[in-house]
């Protein structure tokens, strides 16, 4: 347990260096990926199913070995060849993987028991963790007598009990219903901050990624599409894939001339530097622009630079979402406050702050 | 016809079956056991008569040893076969399960070929040690035969159970620091407990009652089924044969019930 003195439950700085993975059957699950995670940071791996999130997490855990050349470093120490049982990682599985032959406190204390921690110390740590995760009173329950949310908490308590160097979570909330998921997401966030542990969190739910991540790694087809803070990813997506995967996005492909987008529904002014950067110094050309639905305002059609006709309106609860036709190649989505009366067939004008238009570089979608 | 009458009607064939094939013969057997000139004391003789008692103990020990050895061998091989893919694996599994169809006589015959007077082991030991080892006609031979008989049945059950193990349980244990042996002890074996009890029960009951192998190997091996046979056919001692049969049934049933209640907690928890 010498490693623990150094890390004291706050985890390590983690470095993934050029880790690729080709499975025995030839499946290329991961292209060479390099990623640095600071001590105490929570990084979310986000991406569609099959993009390699779990594979990357398992390589970090030591459950898979990367292809030749790949390395995993904990605090600069190369652990690529260290098997998982000696890596001191905490893991939370989607299925929780609680031991059915042990009760709640034996599950939580299992890692401590293996490390030879005395019974008294173990009891104290278990008491601390059940309090922290809000499952006090369930210590002697069998795990099949727990609800989904309670199991999730036991799995989390078990994973952090021995103060791991990194906490690895693979879609820990996916098995729960929507309301519980949202509540536990908040609790988890608080817990990760309290523990200050280095954590890698896998999800395909972008709302979860936004809420939990200090940084988000968006993955696609085994490679990293973008790394950034939730705000970076949302407001400044690196490419069309990220823009469409994270949040709702209108992607407009159009001719750009002198800093103005020429659309079927009118003209849309871009911020000066944005257009210039996308066109590599040319005065005009075709570009992709992304606009979030909430950045577009409905204004009176008369005199508006950009106009269209409302195709449909759907009520979302806290707002309405309108699809406006005739503006660009396909209908564009606009978030409209509930206080604004709007119905299908209305002619409307649209206004967008140039700063809210993101010109997407070298599209690969 | 109401749902209740329908269910009632479905119950009729079951009742007839139970009565015809279970209750009536059993009752007859129990009555026959007490019909000798010693009356109910024939039952007591199973435990009091030194020869009967020794045979009973022998049989239980043999069946227990067979069951335990079968479980150990089948678990190790079952885990290995289910987890590793290598050339010839399918052939090996086919060979291991091939004896499923063999009757006890054939198994006994094979034991004689292996460890009998002209057997392979005898030849090899004679050449190497100058001393011919022959054990086919003894309890050891019978033990070997029963192993041969039980392993195919048990290994299939265990392989199916291993396949159903949740791999993330083992990964979770490893992440918490458990080495390979610890994972087997704390995760794999507890999860396999229901399969051990189910397949072990069958192996045990089979070894308690198997007759063909013992009969082929020798007529003077002291196991209960052989004793019943000799009392019945050679001595025409119907009462004793019946009492011993009832005893065999009861003892087997009691030991299985014990094993099940002992493993009950694990079974429920692993479910
Ligand atoms: N053991 C394996 N052998 C062969 N291919 C595999 C193996 N494990 C995963 N793959 C493949 O590697 C790719 C990446 O899988 P991975 O499980 O990392 O995806 P993921 O991003 O976690 O997806 P999901 O969101 O569905 O869990 C997939 O195409 C998958 O089919
Ligand atoms: Mg996955």
Instruction: Flag whether pLDDT at A275 surpasses 80.
Output: no
A263 DSSP β-pair partners: A266
Sheet-wide strand order for A14-22 = A28-37, A14-22, A71-74, A77-78
- Annotate A66-92 with b (16+ C-beta within 10 A) or e (fewer): bbeebebbbbeeebeeeebbebbbbbb
Which has the minimum average pLDDT: A44-48, A74-78, B230-234? Answer: B230-234
Q: Which token pair is B128?
A: 């190497």
**Nearest CA owner, ligand 1 atom 27:** A49
Judged by CB atoms closer than 8 Å, whether chains meet at A162 and B270 is answered as no
**Rounded mean pLDDT, B140-157:** 90
Contacts 24+ apart (CB under 8 A), A180-188: A180/A148, A180/A149, A181/A208, A183/A149, A184/A149, A184/A152, A184/A153, A185/A211, A185/A212, A186/A211, A187/A133, A187/A134, A188/A156, A188/A212
**According to the model, what pLDDT value does residue A282 have?**
65
Q: Is residue B244 part of a domain?
A: yes
Per-residue pLDDT of A87-146, as tens digits, reads: 999 999 999 999 999 999 999 999 999 999 999 999 999 999 999 898 999 999 999 999
Q: Is residue A301 part of a domain?
A: yes
- Check CB contact of B207 with chain A, cutoff 8 Å: no
Considering the domain architecture, whether residues A77 and A180 belong to the same structural domain is answered as: yes
Chain B residue closest in CA terms to A98:
B169
Domain end marker among A235, A266, A296: A235
Range of the domain at B181: 49-270
Q: How remote is the CA of residue A53 from the centroid of ligand 2, in Å?
A: 6
Q: Which token pair is B243?
A: 């009492």
Query: How large is the ipTM?
Result: 0.84
CA dihedral sign, ordered A182, A183, A188, A191: positive
Instruction: Flag whether pLDDT at A2 surpasses 60.
Output: no
Instruction: Flag whether pLDDT at A278 surpasses 70.
Output: no
**According to the model, what pLDDT value does residue B269 have?**
35
When the pLDDT of each residue in chain A is averaged and rounded to a whole number, the result is 89
Q: How remote is the CA of residue A52 from the centroid of ligand 1, in Å?
A: 6
Considering the domain architecture, whether residues A133 and A14 belong to the same structural domain is answered as: yes
Considering the domain architecture, whether residues A35 and A147 belong to the same structural domain is answered as: yes
**According to the model, what pLDDT value does residue A231 have?**
93
Ligand 1 neighbours (beta carbon < 6 A): A 23, 25, 27, 29, 47, 49-55, 204
Q: Is residue A36 part of a domain?
A: yes
Q: For chain B, what is the radius of gyration of the CA atoms?
A: 23
Cα distance from B168 to chain A (closest Cα, Å)? 6
Instruction: Flag whether pLDDT at A3 surpasses 50.
Output: no
Judged by CB atoms closer than 8 Å, whether chains meet at B171 and A91 is answered as yes
Specify the CATH number for the domain of residue B232: 1.10.3720.10
**According to the model, what pLDDT value does residue A283 have?**
65
Cβ neighbours of B172 in A, within 8 Å: 91, 93, 97-99, 158
Q: How far apart are CA A255 and CA A260, in angstroms?
A: 8
Beta-carbon count within 10 A of B24 CB: 11
**Rounded mean pLDDT, B200-213:** 89
Considering the domain architecture, whether residues A98 and A181 belong to the same structural domain is answered as: yes
If pLDDT is split at 50, 70 and 90, which confidence band does A52 have? Answer: very high
Give Cα A109 distance to the centre of its chain: 30
Contact B221, B142 (CB under 8 A): yes
**According to the model, what pLDDT value does residue A324 have?**
93
- Check CB contact of B177 with chain A, cutoff 8 Å: yes
Per-residue pLDDT of B18-51, as tens digits, reads: 888 888 888 888 888 888 778 788 888 888 888 8
Specify the CATH number for the domain of residue A268: 2.40.50.140
Q: For chain A, what is the radius of gyration of the CA atoms?
A: 25
Residue of A96, A100, A157 to mutate for B, most B C-beta atoms under 10 A: A100
Contact B235, A108 (CB under 8 A): no
Instruction: Flag whether pLDDT at B267 surpasses 80.
Output: no
Considering the domain architecture, whether residues A200 and A268 belong to the same structural domain is answered as: no
Instruction: Flag whether pLDDT at A59 surpasses 90.
Output: yes
Give Cα A25 distance to the centre of its chain: 29
**According to the model, what pLDDT value does residue B189 have?**
93
Q: Is residue A127 part of a domain?
A: yes
Range of the domain at A323: 250-359
Residue of B176, B184, B187, B196 to mutate for A, most A C-beta atoms under 10 A: B176
Q: How remote is the CA of residue B166 from the centroid of ligand 1, in Å?
A: 17
Q: How far apart are CA A33 and CA A10, in angstroms?
A: 25
Helices (H), A161-292: 178-195, 206-212, 230-235, 240-245, 272-278
DSSP calls for B188-202: IHHHHHHHHHHHHHH
Please tell me the total count of domains within chain A: 2
Instruction: Flag whether pLDDT at B266 surpasses 90.
Output: no
Please tell me the total count of domains within chain B: 1
Considering the domain architecture, whether residues A214 and A269 belong to the same structural domain is answered as: no
If pLDDT is split at 50, 70 and 90, which confidence band does B265 have? Answer: very low
Q: Is residue A364 part of a domain?
A: no
**Nearest CA owner, ligand 1 atom 25:** A49
Q: Is residue B68 part of a domain?
A: yes
Q: Which token pair is B269?
A: 């928890």
Cβ neighbours of B186 in A, within 8 Å: 99, 101, 110
When the pLDDT of each residue in chain B is averaged and rounded to a whole number, the result is 86
Considering the domain architecture, whether residues A154 and A17 belong to the same structural domain is answered as: yes
């Amino acid at each position: 347990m010498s490693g623990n003195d150094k890390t004291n439950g706050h985890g390590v700085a983690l470095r993934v260096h050029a880790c690729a993975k080709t499975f025995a059957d030839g499946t290329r699950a991961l292209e060479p990926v390099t990623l640095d995670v600071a001590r105490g940071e929570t990084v979310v791996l986000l991406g569609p199913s099959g993009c390699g999130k779990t594979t990357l997490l398992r390589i970090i855990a030591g459950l898979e070995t990367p292809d030749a050349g790949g390395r995993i470093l904990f605090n600069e120490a190369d652990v690529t060849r260290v098997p998982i049982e000696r890596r001191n990682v905490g893991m939370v599985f989607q299925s929780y993987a609680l031991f059915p032959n042990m009760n709640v406190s034996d599950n939580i204390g299992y890692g401590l028991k293996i490390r030879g921690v005395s019974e008294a110390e173990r009891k104290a740590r278990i008491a601390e963790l059940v309090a922290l995760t809000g499952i006090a009173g369930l210590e002697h329950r069998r795990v099949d007598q727990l609800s989904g949310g309670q199991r999730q908490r036991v799995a989390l308590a078990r994973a952090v009990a021995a103060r791991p160097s990194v906490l690895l979570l693979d879609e820990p909330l996916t098995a729960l219903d929507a309301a519980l998921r949202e509540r536990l997401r908040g609790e988890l966030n608080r817990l990760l901050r309290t523990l200050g542990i280095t954590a890698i969190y896998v999800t395909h739910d972008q709302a979860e990624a936004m809420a939990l991540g200090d940084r988000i790694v968006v993955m696609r087809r085994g490679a990293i599409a973008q790394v950034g803070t939730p705000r970076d990813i949302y407001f400044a997506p690196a490419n069309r894939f990220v823009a469409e995967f994270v949040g709702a996005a209108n992607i407009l492909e159009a001719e750009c001339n002198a800093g103005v987008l020429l659309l079927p529904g009118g003209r849309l002014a871009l911020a000066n530097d944005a257009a210039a950067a996308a066109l590599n110094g040319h005065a005009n050309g075709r570009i992709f622009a992304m606009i979030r639905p909430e950045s577009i305002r409905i204004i009176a059609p008369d005199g508006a630079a950009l106009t269209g006709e409302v195709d449909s309106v759907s009520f979302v609860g806290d707002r309405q979402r309108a699809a406006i036709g005739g503006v660009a190649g396909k209908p564009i989505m606009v978030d409209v406050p509930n206080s604004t009366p709007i119905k299908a067939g209305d002619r409307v004008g649209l206004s967008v702050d140039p700063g809210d238009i993101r010109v997407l570089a070298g599209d690969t979608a | 016809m109401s749902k209740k009458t329908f269910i009632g009607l479905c119950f009729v064939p079951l009742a007839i079956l139970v009565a015809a094939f279970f209750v009536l013969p059993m009752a007859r057997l129990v009555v026959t056991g007490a019909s000798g000139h010693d009356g109910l004391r024939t039952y007591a003789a199973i435990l009091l008569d030194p020869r009967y008692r020794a045979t009973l103990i022998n049989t239980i020990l043999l069946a227990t040893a067979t069951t335990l050895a079968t479980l150990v061998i089948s678990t190790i091989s079952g885990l290995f076969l289910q987890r590793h893919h290598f050339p010839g694996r399918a052939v090996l599994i086919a060979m291991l399960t091939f004896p499923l169809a063999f009757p006890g006589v054939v198994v006994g015959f094979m034991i004689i070929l292996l460890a009998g007077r002209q057997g392979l082991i005898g030849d090899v030991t004679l050449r190497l040690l100058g001393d011919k080892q022959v054990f086919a006609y003894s309890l050891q031979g019978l033990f070997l035969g029963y192993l041969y008989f039980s392993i195919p049945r048990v290994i299939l059950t265990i392989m199916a159970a291993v396949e159903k193990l949740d791999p993330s349980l083992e990964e979770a244990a490893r992440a918490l620091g458990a080495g390979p042996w610890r994972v087997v002890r704390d995760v794999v074996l507890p999860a396999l407990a229901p399969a051990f009890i189910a397949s072990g029960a069958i192996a045990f009951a089979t070894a308690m009652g198997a007759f063909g192998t013992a009969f082929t190997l020798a007529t003077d091996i002291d196991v209960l089924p052989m004793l019943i046979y000799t009392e019945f056919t050679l001595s025409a001692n119907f009462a004793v044969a019946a009492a011993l049969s009832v005893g065999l049934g009861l003892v087997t049933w009691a030991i299985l019930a014990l094993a099940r209640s002992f493993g009950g907690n694990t079974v429920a928890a692993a479910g």
